[in-house]
Amino acid sequence: MSEEHPARPGDAAALELRPALEAVLMVVDEPATVDHLAKVTGRHRRAVAAALEELAEEYTRQGRGFELRMVAGGWRFYTRPQYAAAVEAYALDGQQARLTQAALETLAVVAYRQPVSRSRVSAVRGVNCDGVMRTLLQRGLVEEAGAEPETGAILYTTTTYFLERMGLRGLDELPELAPFLPEADAIEAETQEALPSFDPDAPEPGEGAMTTTERLTEL
């Protein structure tokens, strides 16, 4: 075939072009250029460009829930706009669209005192923040940032996604609220004993005491 490089057994060039393109596009995390796709499939650029156009037209003709589009100089699969609601429902299934008050308070403490450990965040808030921190981690709003030298406790900071959601260019644009937050160092000692265990497998003291999981559901 004049539009293809000579195929060798086991090479991508030995595969049928359109299914090969579909397989590659299923795993890309950013738009793939025609040149890159031609390289990985071992085909000429013109053949790849034509196959992509054919696939895009075929998906539209068949009314698929996804479409193949050229965006930012490359090709990638996208959800067809009229089916975005189904994807949104799936992504939010079992989650709250908005953060709870507890999560917002915890996020504020992390934002102003980062890098900060869970125990210090809990000391500032006066309650165990394990469950809330897990939520913030899952939402991509905070991330691990090494360990505290003195205790080995994991430290947390806000993420780039946090800045994007807040519409900030950097942490220096946060409102001047830090002076009004209580000093964690001053109150940590007196609140630490009242906090539930941070080890989910640790036995709870006292007969009839609530389990760590039960406590977290109260947050």
pLDDT tens-digit readout, 122-169: 998 888 888 899 889 988 899 999 888 888 889 999 999 898 888 888
Q: What are phi and psi of 111, to 5 degrees?
A: -60, -40
CATH code for the structural domain at 12-82: 1.10.10.10
Tokens at 189, concatenated: 């000692």
- For residue 104, give the nearest of 79, 135, 72, 126 by alpha carbon: 135
Which residue ranges make up each domain of the chain? 12-82, 101-201+208-217
Determine the pLDDT at residue 35. 95
Burial 150-163 (b: 16+ CB within 10 A, else e): eeeeebbbbbeebb
Q: What is the mean pLDDT of residues 85-94?
A: 75
pLDDT at residue 127, as a whole number: 87
User: Of how many residues is the chain composed?
Assistant: 219
User: What does the pLDDT look like over 22-69, one tens digit per residue?
Assistant: 999 998 878 899 999 999 999 999 999 999 999 999 999 999 999 999
pLDDT over 80 (residue 207): no
pLDDT score at 141: 92
CATH for the stretch 101-201+208-217: 1.10.10.10
Structure token pair of residue 90: 């799936």
- In the Cβ-directed half-sphere of 166, how many Cα atoms lie within 13 Å? 19
Nearest to 141 by CA among 112, 163, 117, 114: 163
In this chain, the answer to whether the domains covering 12-82 and 101-201+208-217 adopt an identical fold is yes
Average pLDDT, the chain: 77
Retrieve residue 70's tokens. Answer: 């050229």
62-86 pLDDT tens trace: 999 999 999 888 999 999 989 988 8
Tokens standing for residue 215: 């406590």
